Structure 1
Protein backbone atom coordinates (compact mmCIF):
# COMPACT_ATOMS: atom_id res chain seq x y z
CA UNK A 1 0.00 0.00 0.00
CA UNK A 2 2.92 2.36 0.69
CA UNK A 3 4.09 2.02 -2.91
CA UNK A 4 0.62 2.94 -4.13
CA UNK A 5 0.50 5.89 -1.72
CA UNK A 6 3.87 7.19 -2.89
CA UNK A 7 2.87 6.94 -6.53
CA UNK A 8 -0.47 8.64 -6.06
CA UNK A 9 0.43 11.00 -3.23
CA UNK A 10 4.02 12.18 -3.30
CA UNK A 11 3.38 13.97 -0.01
CA UNK A 12 1.99 10.86 1.68
CA UNK A 13 3.33 12.04 5.01
CA UNK A 14 0.94 14.99 4.90
CA UNK A 15 -2.64 14.19 5.84
CA UNK A 16 -4.88 14.75 2.83
CA UNK A 17 -8.40 13.48 2.62
CA UNK A 18 -8.27 11.16 -0.37
CA UNK A 19 -11.36 10.99 -2.52
CA UNK A 20 -12.13 7.88 -4.50
CA UNK A 21 -13.46 8.73 -7.91
CA UNK A 22 -17.24 8.36 -7.42
CA UNK A 23 -17.79 8.06 -11.16
CA UNK A 24 -15.51 5.01 -11.29
CA UNK A 25 -17.07 3.50 -8.15
CA UNK A 26 -20.51 3.75 -9.70
CA UNK A 27 -19.56 2.84 -13.27
CA UNK A 28 -22.01 0.51 -14.98
CA UNK A 29 -19.07 -1.78 -15.84
CA UNK A 30 -18.29 -2.27 -12.15
CA UNK A 31 -21.94 -2.92 -11.32
CA UNK A 32 -22.38 -5.41 -14.16
CA UNK A 33 -19.25 -7.34 -13.24
CA UNK A 34 -20.21 -7.27 -9.56
CA UNK A 35 -23.62 -8.73 -10.36
CA UNK A 36 -21.98 -11.45 -12.45
CA UNK A 37 -19.61 -12.37 -9.59
CA UNK A 38 -22.39 -12.26 -6.98
CA UNK A 39 -24.68 -14.46 -9.07
CA UNK A 40 -21.91 -17.00 -9.71
CA UNK A 41 -20.84 -16.99 -6.06
CA UNK A 42 -24.39 -17.70 -4.90
CA UNK A 43 -25.15 -20.27 -7.60
CA UNK A 44 -22.00 -22.40 -7.45
CA UNK A 45 -22.61 -23.98 -4.02
CA UNK A 46 -26.28 -24.53 -4.90
CA UNK A 47 -25.65 -26.35 -8.17
CA UNK A 48 -22.62 -28.29 -6.90
CA UNK A 49 -24.11 -29.69 -3.70
CA UNK A 50 -24.80 -33.40 -3.19
CA UNK A 51 -22.76 -34.42 -6.25
CA UNK A 52 -21.07 -37.29 -4.46
CA UNK A 53 -17.63 -36.03 -5.54
CA UNK A 54 -15.71 -32.82 -4.84
CA UNK A 55 -16.34 -29.87 -7.20
CA UNK A 56 -12.92 -30.12 -8.83
CA UNK A 57 -13.36 -33.84 -9.45
CA UNK A 58 -16.78 -33.19 -10.96
CA UNK A 59 -15.27 -30.70 -13.43
CA UNK A 60 -12.73 -33.31 -14.55
CA UNK A 61 -15.32 -36.07 -14.88
CA UNK A 62 -17.68 -33.73 -16.75
CA UNK A 63 -14.98 -32.71 -19.26
CA UNK A 64 -14.11 -36.35 -19.87
CA UNK A 65 -17.75 -37.37 -20.10
CA UNK A 66 -18.50 -34.70 -22.71
CA UNK A 67 -15.46 -35.57 -24.85
CA UNK A 68 -15.78 -38.19 -27.61
CA UNK A 69 -14.11 -41.38 -26.41
CA UNK A 70 -14.19 -40.04 -22.83
CA UNK A 71 -10.46 -39.30 -22.94
CA UNK A 72 -8.29 -36.20 -23.08
CA UNK A 73 -4.57 -35.55 -22.97
CA UNK A 74 -3.63 -34.65 -19.43
CA UNK A 75 -2.29 -31.24 -20.46
CA UNK A 76 -5.50 -30.39 -22.34
CA UNK A 77 -7.62 -31.52 -19.42
CA UNK A 78 -5.56 -29.48 -16.96
CA UNK A 79 -6.03 -26.41 -19.14
CA UNK A 80 -9.78 -27.07 -19.53
CA UNK A 81 -10.27 -27.11 -15.77
CA UNK A 82 -7.87 -24.18 -15.20
CA UNK A 83 -5.19 -26.03 -13.24
CA UNK A 84 -1.42 -25.84 -13.51
CA UNK A 85 0.07 -29.08 -14.77
CA UNK A 86 1.61 -29.84 -11.35
CA UNK A 87 -1.59 -29.09 -9.47
CA UNK A 88 -3.59 -31.10 -11.96
CA UNK A 89 -1.24 -34.08 -11.67
CA UNK A 90 -1.90 -34.22 -7.91
CA UNK A 91 -5.65 -33.87 -8.50
CA UNK A 92 -5.58 -36.62 -11.15
CA UNK A 93 -3.62 -38.85 -8.75
CA UNK A 94 -6.45 -38.59 -6.20
CA UNK A 95 -9.19 -39.17 -8.78
CA UNK A 96 -7.28 -42.12 -10.21
CA UNK A 97 -6.75 -43.60 -6.73
CA UNK A 98 -10.57 -43.68 -6.39
CA UNK A 99 -10.81 -45.55 -9.70
CA UNK A 100 -12.74 -42.80 -11.52
CA UNK A 101 -10.10 -42.21 -14.19
CA UNK A 102 -7.06 -44.06 -15.46
CA UNK A 103 -4.01 -42.85 -17.31
CA UNK A 104 -3.01 -44.29 -20.65
CA UNK A 105 0.19 -43.47 -22.50
CA UNK A 106 -0.14 -41.43 -25.69
CA UNK A 107 1.09 -43.75 -28.47
CA UNK A 108 2.14 -40.72 -30.55
CA UNK A 109 4.09 -38.98 -27.76
CA UNK A 110 5.72 -41.06 -25.04
CA UNK A 111 6.06 -37.95 -22.83
CA UNK A 112 2.28 -37.46 -22.78
CA UNK A 113 -0.61 -39.38 -21.29
CA UNK A 114 -4.36 -39.46 -21.59
CA UNK A 115 -6.86 -39.32 -18.76
CA UNK A 116 -9.64 -41.79 -19.48
CA UNK A 117 -13.00 -42.05 -17.71
CA UNK A 118 -13.44 -45.52 -16.17
CA UNK A 119 -16.73 -47.40 -15.74
CA UNK A 120 -16.69 -46.39 -12.07
CA UNK A 121 -16.10 -42.80 -13.16
CA UNK A 122 -19.06 -43.01 -15.55
CA UNK A 123 -21.30 -44.18 -12.71
CA UNK A 124 -20.08 -41.36 -10.45
CA UNK A 125 -20.59 -38.85 -13.27
CA UNK A 126 -24.09 -40.16 -14.01
CA UNK A 127 -25.09 -39.73 -10.36
CA UNK A 128 -23.50 -36.26 -10.18
CA UNK A 129 -25.14 -35.16 -13.43
CA UNK A 130 -28.60 -36.25 -12.28
CA UNK A 131 -28.24 -34.10 -9.16
CA UNK A 132 -26.47 -31.25 -10.95
CA UNK A 133 -29.05 -30.90 -13.72
CA UNK A 134 -31.88 -30.89 -11.18
CA UNK A 135 -30.12 -28.07 -9.28
CA UNK A 136 -29.43 -26.17 -12.52
CA UNK A 137 -33.07 -26.38 -13.48
CA UNK A 138 -34.17 -25.14 -10.06
CA UNK A 139 -31.64 -22.37 -9.48
CA UNK A 140 -30.50 -21.24 -12.94
CA UNK A 141 -32.99 -21.92 -15.69
CA UNK A 142 -36.32 -21.86 -13.81
CA UNK A 143 -36.10 -18.15 -12.92
CA UNK A 144 -35.36 -17.28 -16.57
CA UNK A 145 -37.65 -17.17 -19.57
CA UNK A 146 -36.62 -19.02 -22.73
CA UNK A 147 -35.70 -15.65 -24.23
CA UNK A 148 -33.57 -14.77 -21.17
CA UNK A 149 -31.76 -18.11 -21.42
CA UNK A 150 -30.98 -17.44 -25.08
CA UNK A 151 -29.65 -13.97 -24.27
CA UNK A 152 -27.58 -15.28 -21.37
CA UNK A 153 -26.05 -18.02 -23.52
CA UNK A 154 -25.13 -15.52 -26.23
CA UNK A 155 -23.61 -13.11 -23.72
CA UNK A 156 -21.58 -15.81 -21.97
CA UNK A 157 -20.30 -17.23 -25.28
CA UNK A 158 -19.36 -13.73 -26.41
CA UNK A 159 -17.44 -13.06 -23.19
CA UNK A 160 -15.71 -16.45 -23.32
CA UNK A 161 -14.73 -16.13 -26.98
CA UNK A 162 -13.60 -12.49 -26.71
CA UNK A 163 -11.18 -13.41 -23.93
CA UNK A 164 -9.82 -16.69 -25.28
Structure 2
Protein backbone atom coordinates (compact mmCIF):
# COMPACT_ATOMS: atom_id res chain seq x y z
CA UNK A 1 0.00 0.00 0.00
CA UNK A 2 2.78 2.47 0.90
CA UNK A 3 4.51 1.79 -2.42
CA UNK A 4 1.31 2.57 -4.32
CA UNK A 5 1.00 5.86 -2.43
CA UNK A 6 4.62 6.70 -3.24
CA UNK A 7 3.86 6.30 -6.94
CA UNK A 8 0.83 8.62 -6.99
CA UNK A 9 1.33 11.63 -9.22
CA UNK A 10 -0.20 14.06 -6.74
CA UNK A 11 -3.21 15.02 -8.84
CA UNK A 12 -5.53 13.71 -6.11
CA UNK A 13 -4.05 16.21 -3.61
CA UNK A 14 -5.94 19.50 -3.44
CA UNK A 15 -4.07 22.77 -3.83
CA UNK A 16 -4.99 23.80 -0.27
CA UNK A 17 -3.80 20.47 1.14
CA UNK A 18 -0.50 20.75 -0.74
CA UNK A 19 0.04 24.30 0.51
CA UNK A 20 -0.74 23.13 4.06
CA UNK A 21 1.74 20.24 3.85
CA UNK A 22 4.49 22.54 2.61
CA UNK A 23 3.65 25.22 5.17
CA UNK A 24 3.82 22.69 8.02
CA UNK A 25 7.16 21.42 6.74
CA UNK A 26 8.65 24.92 6.57
CA UNK A 27 7.13 26.00 9.89
CA UNK A 28 8.33 22.90 11.74
CA UNK A 29 11.82 23.21 10.27
CA UNK A 30 12.06 26.93 11.04
CA UNK A 31 10.90 26.61 14.64
CA UNK A 32 13.01 23.55 15.37
CA UNK A 33 16.06 25.02 13.67
CA UNK A 34 15.82 28.21 15.72
CA UNK A 35 15.64 26.21 18.94
CA UNK A 36 18.49 23.92 17.95
CA UNK A 37 20.91 26.76 17.17
CA UNK A 38 19.64 29.34 19.67
CA UNK A 39 22.55 28.86 22.05
CA UNK A 40 25.56 26.94 20.85
CA UNK A 41 27.22 27.60 24.18
CA UNK A 42 30.57 28.81 22.92
CA UNK A 43 32.58 31.88 23.83
CA UNK A 44 32.75 33.03 20.23
CA UNK A 45 29.50 34.22 18.71
CA UNK A 46 28.69 31.56 16.13
CA UNK A 47 25.87 32.71 13.84
CA UNK A 48 23.98 30.00 11.93
CA UNK A 49 25.93 30.27 8.65
CA UNK A 50 29.23 30.20 10.57
CA UNK A 51 28.13 27.10 12.42
CA UNK A 52 27.22 25.36 9.15
CA UNK A 53 30.70 26.06 7.79
CA UNK A 54 32.47 24.96 10.98
CA UNK A 55 30.40 21.78 11.25
CA UNK A 56 31.00 20.79 7.62
CA UNK A 57 34.74 21.34 7.99
CA UNK A 58 34.75 19.43 11.28
CA UNK A 59 33.11 16.44 9.58
CA UNK A 60 35.43 16.51 6.54
CA UNK A 61 38.68 14.51 6.52
CA UNK A 62 41.58 16.87 7.17
CA UNK A 63 39.09 19.58 8.21
CA UNK A 64 39.43 21.34 4.85
CA UNK A 65 37.46 21.71 1.65
CA UNK A 66 37.56 23.84 -1.49
CA UNK A 67 35.78 27.17 -1.15
CA UNK A 68 33.56 26.36 -4.14
CA UNK A 69 32.37 23.04 -2.74
CA UNK A 70 31.88 24.43 0.77
CA UNK A 71 29.83 27.36 -0.56
CA UNK A 72 27.67 24.88 -2.47
CA UNK A 73 27.19 22.62 0.55
CA UNK A 74 26.12 25.46 2.86
CA UNK A 75 23.85 26.85 0.12
CA UNK A 76 25.53 30.25 -0.20
CA UNK A 77 26.39 32.11 -3.35
CA UNK A 78 30.05 32.54 -4.17
CA UNK A 79 29.93 36.18 -3.05
CA UNK A 80 27.93 35.38 0.08
CA UNK A 81 30.35 32.65 1.04
CA UNK A 82 33.36 34.90 0.45
CA UNK A 83 31.93 37.44 2.94
CA UNK A 84 31.19 34.66 5.45
CA UNK A 85 34.70 33.23 4.99
CA UNK A 86 36.23 36.70 5.44
CA UNK A 87 34.48 37.01 8.80
CA UNK A 88 35.52 33.52 9.89
CA UNK A 89 39.14 34.29 8.93
CA UNK A 90 38.99 37.57 10.89
CA UNK A 91 37.65 35.65 13.91
CA UNK A 92 40.60 33.23 13.63
CA UNK A 93 38.37 30.18 13.03
CA UNK A 94 39.39 29.28 9.48
CA UNK A 95 42.24 29.97 7.10
CA UNK A 96 42.48 30.00 3.34
CA UNK A 97 45.04 27.71 1.74
CA UNK A 98 46.13 27.79 -1.88
CA UNK A 99 46.43 24.61 -3.88
CA UNK A 100 50.00 23.81 -4.94
CA UNK A 101 48.62 21.91 -7.96
CA UNK A 102 46.14 24.51 -9.23
CA UNK A 103 46.31 28.23 -8.42
CA UNK A 104 42.61 28.59 -9.23
CA UNK A 105 41.65 26.40 -6.25
CA UNK A 106 41.48 27.78 -2.74
CA UNK A 107 40.87 25.57 0.26
CA UNK A 108 39.28 26.60 3.54
CA UNK A 109 40.58 24.84 6.64
CA UNK A 110 39.83 25.02 10.34
CA UNK A 111 42.46 26.66 12.51
CA UNK A 112 43.23 25.16 15.92
CA UNK A 113 40.86 27.70 17.48
CA UNK A 114 38.26 26.88 14.82
CA UNK A 115 38.59 23.17 15.52
CA UNK A 116 38.08 23.70 19.25
CA UNK A 117 35.13 26.04 18.64
CA UNK A 118 33.55 23.64 16.15
CA UNK A 119 33.87 20.71 18.56
CA UNK A 120 32.34 22.68 21.43
CA UNK A 121 29.51 24.03 19.25
CA UNK A 122 28.84 20.52 17.92
CA UNK A 123 28.43 19.15 21.45
CA UNK A 124 25.91 21.86 22.33
CA UNK A 125 24.13 21.35 19.01
CA UNK A 126 23.81 17.60 19.55
CA UNK A 127 22.19 18.18 22.95
CA UNK A 128 19.71 20.58 21.34
CA UNK A 129 18.95 18.16 18.51
CA UNK A 130 18.28 15.36 20.97
CA UNK A 131 15.87 17.61 22.86
CA UNK A 132 14.05 19.37 20.01
CA UNK A 133 14.26 16.79 17.18
CA UNK A 134 14.83 13.28 18.49
CA UNK A 135 12.66 13.41 21.64
CA UNK A 136 9.48 14.62 19.91
CA UNK A 137 9.81 12.22 16.97
CA UNK A 138 11.54 9.17 18.40
CA UNK A 139 14.30 7.28 16.63
CA UNK A 140 12.19 5.56 13.97
CA UNK A 141 10.33 8.69 12.83
CA UNK A 142 13.46 10.87 12.99
CA UNK A 143 15.28 8.38 10.77
CA UNK A 144 12.33 8.21 8.34
CA UNK A 145 12.11 12.02 8.19
CA UNK A 146 15.85 12.20 7.47
CA UNK A 147 15.43 9.66 4.66
CA UNK A 148 12.58 11.67 3.15
CA UNK A 149 14.46 14.95 3.41
CA UNK A 150 17.55 13.37 1.81
CA UNK A 151 15.38 12.21 -1.08
CA UNK A 152 13.85 15.68 -1.47
CA UNK A 153 17.27 17.36 -1.24
CA UNK A 154 18.82 15.02 -3.77
CA UNK A 155 15.92 15.44 -6.21
CA UNK A 156 16.28 19.23 -6.08
CA UNK A 157 20.07 19.70 -5.92
CA UNK A 158 22.17 20.41 -8.99
CA UNK A 159 25.47 18.54 -9.21
CA UNK A 160 28.17 19.86 -6.90
CA UNK A 161 31.07 21.72 -8.46
CA UNK A 162 34.42 20.00 -8.15
The structure 1 segments of at least 4 consecutive aligned residues displaced by more than 6 Å after TM superposition are none
Pairing partner for 1:66 from 56, 59, 67: 59
TM-score, L = length of structure 1: 0.81
Q: Could you give the per-residue CA deviations for residues 101-128 of structure 1, whole angstroms, max 9, x where no partner exists?
A: 0111012210221000111001111111
2:111 is matched with: 118
Taking the TM superposition and a 5 Å limit, the aligned residue runs for 1:58-137 are: 58-137=51-130
Q: Distance in 2 between matches of 1:124 and 1:58?
A: 9
Gaps of 5+ in 1: 1-22
1:31 is matched with: 20
TM-score, L = length of structure 2: 0.82
Give how far 1:82 is off.
1.1
Q: Distance in 2 between matches of 1:150 and 1:74?
A: 30
Q: Distance in 2 between matches of 1:151 and 1:101?
A: 34
Give how far 1:145 is off.
2.4
Aligned residues: 140
| Structure number with higher relative contact order (C-alpha < 8 Å, ≥ 6 residues apart) | 2
1:41 is matched with: 30
Gaps of 5+ in 2: 1-13, 158-162
Once superposed, what is the RMSD of the aligned Cα atoms? 1.2
